[in-house]
Amino acid sequence: MNDTTTPETQAPPVARRRAQARKKQAAANASLPMRGPTEVDVTLKINGVEQVARIEPRVSLLDALREHLLLTGTKKGCDQGTCGACTVWVDGRRVLSCLTLAMACEDHEVTTIEGLAKGGELHPMQRAFIAHDAFQCGYCTPGQIMSAVALIREGHASTDAEIAEWMSGNLCRCAAYPNIRAAIRDVRDSEAGGNDASG
């Protein structure tokens, strides 16, 4: 606003500033077009594959995955950020897909439970969940596993208390917690032995 180096130096200062402000705002507006609210093409990179979903901007990442891209491994529990069933990774960090807009994930990498297995082999955490019977109904399990792999990568799995604290965002109404912790310990200890299975 205090820029005085424009060609409009003959204009009165107030008018000049207003003209500059108008120009600045017009430029800003012009460079920031709104998309939607009707359906638009949104390009998402999911599990390494670029896909286009035609969705409204209000669509959550969770709904885009499940209803539009038919990746139904990610589960909808509470849809309000309370239960953790919808946990996925965005740029490698665990987040809640129910509170994330799909459009906000353009230019970012999304990883879902479907992206964990490699070459037909389950991820070590998936195998450990089976080996330790770490679920009953299984509904929270994809979110638990996405959180669990991230937890070890973050370095927050050193004790059972630490695991419990850093997994507290993933509720299990079947209360399989002891077995979930056992699966996490198992993977943690096998990784400590030199087998890098951090996904």
Partner 1 sequence: MRPVSYARATSVAEAIAALRAHPDAAFLAGGTTEIDLLRLDVVRPNALVDINALPLSRIEDLADGGLRIGALARMSDVAEAPAVVERFPMLMQALLLGASAQLRNMATIGGNLLQRVRCSYFRDVASPCNKREPGTGCSALDGINRGHAVLGTSDHCIATHPSDLAVALIALDAVVRTEGPRGARAFPIDEFFLLPRDTPHLEHPTEHGELVVAVDVPAAPIARRSLYAKVRDRESYEFALASVAAAMDVQGGVIRAARVALGGVATKPWRARRAEQILVGAPAQRDTYARAAREELASARPRQLNAFKVELAQRAIVRALETLAETGGPQ
153 φψ region: left (φ > 0), alpha (ψ -120 to 50), beta (else):
alpha
* Region binding partner 1 by CB under 8 A among candidate stretches 46-54, 119-127, 149-157, 174-182: 149-157
CA dist 42 and 64 (Å) reads 10
Least distance (Å) between residue 120 CB and partner 1: 29
The pair phi, psi for residue 95, each rounded to 5°, is -140, 170
**Residue 74, helix vs strand vs coil:** coil
Which helix (DSSP H) or strand (DSSP E) does residue 54 occupy? Answer: strand 49-55
Stretch that binds partner 1, among 43-51, 69-77, 146-154, 185-193 (CB under 8 A): 146-154
Query: Which residue in 16, 17, 45, 156 binds partner 1 (CB under 8 A)?
Result: 156
d(CA 20, CA 7): 11
Closest distance between partner 1 and the C-beta of residue 8, in Å?
Answer: 20
In the complex, which residues of this chain contact partner 1 (CB under 8 A)? 1, 24-25, 28-29, 31-38, 56-58, 60, 79-81, 84, 87, 93-96, 98-101, 103-104, 106, 147, 150-151, 154, 156, 164-170
